[in-house]
Chains A and B, each alone.
Chain A
Amino acid sequence: GQSLEQPSEVTAVEGAIVQINCTYQTSGFYGLSWYQQHDGGAPTFLSYNALDGLEETGRFSSFLSRSDSYGYLLLQELQMKDSASYFCAPQTGANNLFFGTGTRLTVIP
């Protein structure tokens, strides 16, 4: 079967750094994506890790360890607009992304 574990909620202060962890169990694995979804909005792509290591895109970085079936999303210099749900999504087959319920991040002043 497939399973995903992310914290359901995280709260952090504006300007701080927050890390959202993700562990997964899938049959077949191609890579790990991260998506952001604001309330009432559509999921939007943040990053994709196919190989082990850190990928950096501006204030956001994503890490993958395939041997540990683990990844994380690091958000730096948090802004109020970063309050949203964040989904890690392992790619398990022909672009079959397994999303789960995500982590709701609340940024407070």
Chain B
Amino acid sequence: DTAVSQTPKYLVTQMGNDKSIKCEQNLGHDTMYWYKQDSKKFLKIMFSYNNKELIINETVPNRFSPKSPDKAHLNLHINSLELGDSAVYFCASSLGPRESPLHFGNGTRLTVT
């Protein structure tokens, strides 16, 4: 009955590899997000989609590409991974783009070696 689920929970990979993180929500929400939390706990928005349409695209390297096949799914693909990409990535959803609250997934801890 998980509301926002993301996989994998842990991802350890080498520099230069390409990896994907998947996210699904079963709440019927229209809006989904990707957030990045660094080692200092700074939580920063990366992308937001509303009904499969990109509405927020913060200053993120273009090695990061989100894809929303439908409004219940938002995946994140990362090319040519770098050491600085190591972080916890959270997927989240909300009813709409100006609706509170955000419901977060449990996070994907990415470690790049």
Contacts and interface: CB of A to CB of B under 8 A. Distances in A.
B104 A33 contact: no
Interface in A75-95: 85, 87, 91, 93-95
Given A31-B100, A41-B106, A95-B94, 6 more contacts: A33-B102, A37-B41, A41-B107, A42-B104, A95-B33, A97-B45
A33 B100 contact: yes
Nearest to B99: A95
Given A41-B106, A42-B90, A85-B41, A94 B101 contact: no
Interface of B: 31, 33, 35, 40-45, 48, 50, 55-56, 90, 94, 96-107
B90 A96 contact: no
26 contacts: A30-B98, A31-B100, A33-B102, A35-B102, A42-B90, A42-B104, A42-B105, A42-B106, A42-B107, A43-B104, A45-B101, A48-B100, A85-B41, A87-B43, A94-B97, A95-B31, A95-B96, A95-B97, A96-B45, A98-B45, A99-B35, A100-B43, A101-B40, A101-B43, A102-B43, A104-B41
Contacts, number: 66
Contacts of B107: 41-42
B100 A45 contact: yes
A104 B42 CA distance: 12
Contacts of A3: none
B97 A99 contact: no
B27 to A, nearest CB: 13
A27 to B, nearest CB: 14
Report, nearest first, the 10 A-B pairs whose CB atoms are least far apart.
Answer: A45-B101, A99-B43, A42-B104, A94-B97, A48-B100, A101-B42, A95-B97, A101-B41, A43-B104, A42-B106
Contacts of B31: 95
Nearest to A41: B106
Contacts of A94: 48, 50, 55-56, 97-98
A96 B50 CA distance: 12
A94 B50 CA distance: 10
